[in-house]
Amino acid sequence: MEGPLVIAHRGCHTFAPENTIASFKAALEKGADMVELDVRLTRDNIPVIFHDRKFRDASGRSHITARLTENQLRGVQLKYPGSNSVSSDYLIPTLDEVQDRILPDLALNIELKPDLRRGDKLVVEVLKRIPHRHQSKIIFSSFSKTILRKLWSRNPKLKLGYLFRSNPEQALKWAKRHHCFSVHPNIDVCSESFVGSAQASGLKVIVWTVNDKRTAWRLLNWEVFGIITDNLGLFRRRPRIEGRHKQNALRSRYY
């Protein structure tokens, strides 16, 4: 048994602010196979990597992400203890930046988060920025069925992952009918029988967010495809495979 893909939730945010280039680099260093990140559109339609719909910056001012332009977001100092670095690696990155700087070394799970009913635009802007040769290295996931349908209609070859936190049976049926590659249950609704049914239907199972050893071990025995974690330390005994070799090893497992 090779073990599941270890997927760093928003990068490795014990070392840097989540969803930043610094956190993705740290995930790579710590031996993650893949990074999960969240993408949203700015007011001027630029896909940026950011989790929250609303947030407070380091000075306590509150903002709605989708109402800021790319430039305004780039100027935001993220709240993070001890992070006074002036490096742009600690700022909110654009998808373009991630794809130039991270994608060559690390596989991605891009979670699409639609705002202000701009789901269609989000899909268009995300796919526009990722060349076809890179699209197969990515799992595109979403809680939004509309987004997943839209992604499929633009490229039926994409690897789609359906995220959910309730009703696993219904979710499985939907994912099967809508050409998904994987189902992404929250750990609270992931049972052994669910994993078995998904696997029997030809769907991969990627579970989030798993931060303790006992749960990770249980999922390992159920042979899930991937585990999304905030705690890469749980998996530190995995052999480190670097750079191109790492990509080749990954490719042989799922491309």
By the criterion CB under 6 A, which residues form the site for ligand G3P?
9, 36, 38, 51, 111, 141, 163, 184, 208, 228
How would you label 224-246 residue by residue, b for 16+ Cβ within 10 Å and e otherwise?
bbbbbbbbbebbeeeeeeeeeeb
Closer by beta carbon to ligand G3P, 89 or else 230: 230
Partner residues linked to 169 by β-bridges: none
x/- mask, Mg ion, residues 26-55, rule CB under 5 A, reads ------------x-----------------
Contact call for residues 203 and 180 (beta carbons, < 8 A) = yes
- Pick from 249, 240, 204, 201: nearest CA to 222: 204
Binding test (CB under 5 A) with Mg ion, winner from 18, 33, 97, 111: 111
Contact call for residues 205 and 163 (beta carbons, < 8 A) = no
Closer by beta carbon to ligand G3P, 38 or else 97: 38
Tell me the C-alpha distance between 18 and 24, whole Å.
8
Closer by beta carbon to ligand G3P, 110 or else 127: 110
Per CB under 5 A, does 18 bind Mg ion? no
Structure tokens at 224: 């899930």
Q: Which does 108 bind (CB under 5 to 8 A by kind): Mg ion, ligand G3P, none?
A: none
- Cα–chain center distance at 56: 23
Q: Which amino acid is at 35?
A: V
Q: Which does 208 bind (CB under 5 to 8 A by kind): Mg ion, ligand G3P, none?
A: ligand G3P
Cis peptide upstream of residue 94 (ω within 30 degrees of 0): no
Closer by beta carbon to Mg ion, 87 or else 146: 146
Provide, rounded to whole angstroms, the least separation between the CB of residue 79 and ligand G3P: 17
Provide, rounded to whole angstroms, the least separation between the CB of residue 140 and ligand G3P: 11
- What residue ranges bind Mg ion (CB under 5 A)? 38, 111
